[in-house]
Structure 1
């Protein structure tokens, strides 16, 4: 009996302990919530949007970046109140301010003291938030080095020099400037990436089968057997460049050298040089693609010739197509910053890729292995290892272009980010299409020489492999938080 009562007493202890722990949890939980409001130097810096109103009229929306010690920024602008903006005095916000800033957003210049000092000075003056104007068009991360919790309770963020100049101009003429800061989240999966994936796969397949697509007109038997036939085959063979093992290695070394030069001397004029070369190659590629398609569908076209000074004799059809391609490229250059310019860039890029894959060919699987392995190491080094030798990832920095002029590298396929509050484009470099395209083009020729059908050949399986590989690339991109 005693043993049973002792057992019952022991079992009754557990409900009591559960009640005690529950009470302690609810007592301590407000303290835990209060700790969440504290800021630390190692908080995550995020991109923010800044809505601007000048004299009550909504103007442009700027983009900025929060400090690592900033207070938490709302994800939406719903229910947020607009805050008036005032310039700090002194402008660097490094010493006690001459005026009370209760409820205002302090606008300060970068420099002369630490970012954390600026935040403390602005908060001591009663500012609701602090906006630091950078001295360049880049937006750098504002960080600090303290390990303990900070007493910063205001929003702290940075904007570019161009955005700061726009705010200063409105304030200088006596206008009332108000702003609202929020940090919308990007979509986890970008639907536009699916279209870019489809575009890349279709380009590789089309370029690999280009000869089969455009040969129908040439193999048509409804023509005079005695008439003179143009020697298209000889012309194509004369223009083919076969890569060797050594040339594959040298090509990757030269590509690395050119990438470093782009990184070190990135400027608007350098990108303009690339734009010019891109247009020249794209015009040639578009011209060859259109001419090949026209000849395959209409064998009687392109017979009439004309003598062009400095260029010699050419067909009227070829000259007309060339003029159209030049006009198309010029139109794209003039409108390259418009919202629809990605269409023209993709058309020019796809034509260039198709032309290159008809010009360059791999002679055997050995050269293909060397080239693709070198390209694999090239990507790994310049994306992930280069920050150890340079301050940034060289390839990602080059892909972002020149921020001061807004110019970007044209050697990419682009597609708009659909339904993304930040806008922008999903991009895919030409190398991610050209290198696999060389291998797929080789398998088409190999299957044809061995008289293999699409069922027992290599091309279909490699095309499926490329499509799956590109899907895994996008999966890795999302898992690594959009790191290239």
Structure 2
């Protein structure tokens, strides 16, 4: 699997489902309402409920205070803010503090302009229960554009178009995830059959030595991996702007290798084009060399154009599927005990860093969400303080490439806010996929007609459905492992109990060794007993 693969595995769990809550700022000329224009905003629906349309909405005259960050009352110029919408610059303090100051001076709406694109309002609301005015982020370039279009006479209102009744991007993600888990598990089973196939030079059935690229996780290795994951997440939290490029590089290398492994497994079954070339006393098939060049080209193309949202997501998903398939096939769980330890620890990992860390961090932010979303807009960590970072309006913040991305084409605000994506982390595919792969290999070893593998795959699909239902009901990102782990573990355990194979399923390959040892010991005891009788 190599160092790139192991490093890639350390970060595949760092991305929960995150969706920016987007809305629209509808601006009109306060003196001539026939002129109007829309701009994109981001807001927190847990703080503010926006109407679904601007029809019959209340408009407020906009007061442009972008020369101020509004972090103290002394920054307010001598203007009347009563019953107005106010736009100020981001930076120096929380959007909630700006909102309190604006509300105390009579403002009815606060817009915070950012030069670094749209931010996500995710601050800790504790202690701000009296804050009732709507808060939203807007691009600074849009504020400048409004002034050029409408002059100083601007009236604004906010609204958020409803999402369509059914989001087809979720269906696509569901099909991709279930397909990847099923195919990865099936491929792992084929690899197990290859290992069990007798050697051509032997007359007896002998188990082949596992291939070098296969890696087995023992319970101790699982615990060590869990600790490394926690350390890696904390390092990314504090040193994101440097480590993100390391992760991008690792993903490029690991995904290119994974794509080659997946495609070469297909090509080797084709009986054509097997001509070879020799160099430095080594030979290789020409078609595999061409395939390697193709995989490297796909990975490099994605790396160069990774921020082109209109089409780069296709390459990322192709590389991501190959990445997940290769790991599910390559990384082997020795028994169900190791699966329970791995899935249980990573479930706790997901829940702790998403739901518990907001109570431990100074700003009430989730470490998992903070790392997944990237650096917070126009600020960066500098020791103990937050300092404003000058940037152009077209700056793109790097994101960790550890997700399957599918655009939400039906969303009506897409043209204003850019492409909106539904996301699923690689960890939500690979971690349950390792259990499905173990079930498939257990089926192969026990000749159980794929009952464990099929049941686990169906349980994974049911867990994904539950995840999406909760996502749509709660309207906020969910750690998918919270639903996938119980579904897959409980189902696999139930099948083992029903078939009365729990001991064998729990111990896996070790059970056969134990059984052989017990049989040998029993035979030795019987022989010894017979000798004593004689």
The two structures have a TM-score, normalised by structure 2, of 0.65
Given the alignment of the two structures, is residue 399 of structure 1 paired with residue 347 of structure 2, yes or no? no
Contact 1:208–1:441 (CA<8 Å) still a contact in 2?
A: yes
- Structure 2 stretches lacking a partner, 5+ long: 1-20, 195-199, 202-206, 378-395, 415-419, 479-534
C-alpha separation in 2, matches of 1:90 and 1:369? 56
Contact 2:333–2:435 (CA<8 Å) still a contact in 1?
A: yes
C-alpha separation in 2, matches of 1:235 and 1:351? 25
The Cα RMSD (Å) is 4.1
> Which one of the candidate residues 355, 358, 370 is aligned to 1:387?
358
Once the two structures are TM-superposed, the CA of residue 326 in structure 1 deviates from its matched residue by 1.2
> Which one of the candidate residues 235, 238, 245 is aligned to 2:212?
238
* Equivalent residue, structure 1, for 2:255: 282
Once the two structures are TM-superposed, the CA of residue 347 in structure 1 deviates from its matched residue by 0.7
The 3 A distance-change label for structure 1 pair 304 and 312 is closer
C-alpha separation in 1, matches of 2:345 and 2:405? 25
Given the alignment of the two structures, is residue 158 of structure 1 paired with residue 136 of structure 2, yes or no? yes
Q: Which has the higher contact order (CA 8 A, sep 6+)?
A: 2
C-alpha separation in 2, matches of 1:202 and 1:463? 9
Alignment of 1:41-80 (within 5 A): 48-51=23-26, 61-65=39-43, 73-78=50-55
Of 239-248 and 75-84, the range deviating more from structure 2? 75-84
* Residues 329-366 of structure 1: per-residue CA shift (max 9 Å, x gap): 12222332322222211110111111112221112222
SS of structure 2 residue aligned to 1:108: strand
C-alpha separation in 1, matches of 2:296 and 2:406? 23
- Structure 1 stretches lacking a partner, 5+ long: 1-45, 218-224, 227-232
Given the alignment of the two structures, is residue 303 of structure 1 paired with residue 275 of structure 2, yes or no? yes
C-alpha separation in 1, matches of 2:185 and 2:278? 33
C-alpha separation in 1, matches of 2:179 and 2:436? 12
The 3 A distance-change label for structure 1 pair 291 and 385 is same
| Paired residues, number | 409
Once the two structures are TM-superposed, the CA of residue 238 in structure 1 deviates from its matched residue by 2.2
Given the alignment of the two structures, is residue 292 of structure 1 paired with residue 286 of structure 2, yes or no? no
Contact 2:26–2:54 (CA<8 Å) still a contact in 1?
A: no
* Equivalent residue, structure 2, for 1:346: 317
Higher Cα radius of gyration: 1
C-alpha separation in 1, matches of 2:437 and 2:193? 19
Once the two structures are TM-superposed, the CA of residue 185 in structure 1 deviates from its matched residue by 3.4
* Equivalent residue, structure 2, for 1:334: 304
The 3 A distance-change label for structure 1 pair 349 and 448 is same
C-alpha separation in 2, matches of 1:215 and 1:368? 18
C-alpha separation in 2, matches of 1:235 and 1:344? 35
* Equivalent residue, structure 2, for 1:478: 472
Once the two structures are TM-superposed, the CA of residue 447 in structure 1 deviates from its matched residue by 1.4
* Equivalent residue, structure 2, for 1:31: none
The 3 A distance-change label for structure 1 pair 204 and 167 is same
Given the alignment of the two structures, is residue 414 of structure 1 paired with residue 405 of structure 2, yes or no? yes
Contact 2:43–2:120 (CA<8 Å) still a contact in 1?
A: yes
C-alpha separation in 2, matches of 1:482 and 1:244? 35
SS of structure 1 residue aligned to 2:211: helix
The two structures have a TM-score, normalised by structure 1, of 0.71
* Equivalent residue, structure 2, for 1:453: 449
Contact 1:294–1:301 (CA<8 Å) still a contact in 2?
A: no
The 3 A distance-change label for structure 1 pair 68 and 463 is closer
The 3 A distance-change label for structure 1 pair 136 and 412 is closer
